[in-house]
A = this chain, B = another copy of it.
Amino acid sequence: MNEVNSDLGVGLLGMGVVGTAVAATLIGRAEEFAKHTGKNLKLHKVVVRDLDRQREIELPEDTLSNDVDAVLENSDIEIVVEVMGGLDPAGQYIRRALAAGKHVVTANKELIAKEGPDLFEIARKNGSSLHFEASVAGAIPAIHPQLRDLRANKIKSITGIINGTTNYILTNMVQKGMAFDNVLSEAQSLGYAESDPTSDVEGYDAAYKIAILASLAFDQRVSPDDVITEGISKIEPKDLEYAAELGYAVKLLAIAEQKEDGCLVRVHPTLLPEQTPLAKIDGVQNAIQILGDLSGPLTFQGAGAGGSATASAVISDVLEVARALAIGNAPLWDSGIQGEGDILTLESLETRYYLRLLVSDRTGVLARVADVFGEKNVSIAAVYQKEIHAQEDVAELVIMTHKASEASLNEAIEMLSQIPDVHAVNNRIRVED
């Protein structure tokens, strides 16, 4: 349909799972891509650390290099694809590429979330561009809907399950009744969790992603430091069991909301009524709900990670740049990631809470606990007393509150901890309805 007018050089930085899928597809589908874009996409160089490592695919001779200058100093390469991950040296390489007028496609959520504004500024100054659809939720369109398809809307909120590892762990803790540590080990051996799982399980990975989504949605800079972040490592099988008895699933939710006086962005385990769509997202699936004032609620669901799914987003970005260049367009849009606006702290949150307390199994304790909540204006919706057979003199109280402010709840927990008969507040999980 389009005349193929010229070659367009592509350089790839990194050849892990995603890079391998990108390289294989660019090579295998070269003819179709040329027909579609009007450019012959040529994968000139792939930069890797270790030239001797066994690779899953065979590349044309002289394509592999361990010298990043083979891409960055190569005037035949107009598009640089970065799939190494991490801040350094990926950030340094992307800066050099953008400064040299090259267009960059990246899947690097940490870098975009932390240093996006600086990178976009470099691109703007140098007539280059930076594309990052792959940085959030794999193949699920998450960036472009906000930049383009839903641009007419005021976005009120974004709620998502955007970390597959934690969702896999929570799903398996429920289904197998296993403890967090055991499921994590299993996930690691299956390749669903990294050998250092901190970024996933402590919620940092989800925080990077929701920071990016919130920046776009609210047209203001939201950095990962602005995201209230709590991981899933404290969740016990008991919490999942009690939640299920009450009709809830527990999910690591990323939530960004535009409120009257600013935006509130958070990542934390959340009790969700089990009939809600997000409660049913199991295993490594991702789902994102966007609430626009014109669109109403929209849900996007699919594989949020994996080589092919991420390559789908990476290469689609490459194709869009190629198509733009072929017809003489600048492959630019606004990042929407550097505006200013107020960001709220957790103290402003009003929500419902699930609490699990270990108390002495003695008359009057429940009344004392209830008093504390009353004093702090936290209204209790229900209390369930759970027997603990191993220790006969203690009992577990599961408390569901009505909507209360986080500040009041924290004060109540502080007061509870001073009651001798309250041995521990074993968990506090927020509830979304």
Contact = CB atoms under 8 A, between A and B. Distances in A.
Nearest to A324: B329
A290 to B, nearest CB: 9
A345 interface: no
A174 interface: no
B320 A294 contact: no
A296 B301 CA distance: 11
Nearest to A29: B152
B1 A339 contact: yes
Indicate the member of A151, A313, A327, A330 with the most B CB atoms within 10 Å.
Answer: A151
A273 interface: no
A25 interface: yes
A298 interface: yes
B140 A316 contact: no
Contact of A298 (B295, B298, B301, B323): B301
A139 interface: yes
B297 A299 contact: no
Given A149-B133, A152-B29, A302-B298, A312 B292 contact: yes
Interface string A2-28: 100000000000000000010001000
Contact of A151 (B1, B36, B297, B329): B36
B151 A145 contact: no
Given A139-B292, A295-B303, 5 more contacts: A140-B298, A152-B314, A293-B308, A296-B303, A300-B301
**The 10 nearest A-B residue pairs measured at CB:** A139-B295, A152-B315, A298-B302, A294-B312, A141-B149, A329-B329, A295-B312, A294-B308, A299-B301, A296-B303
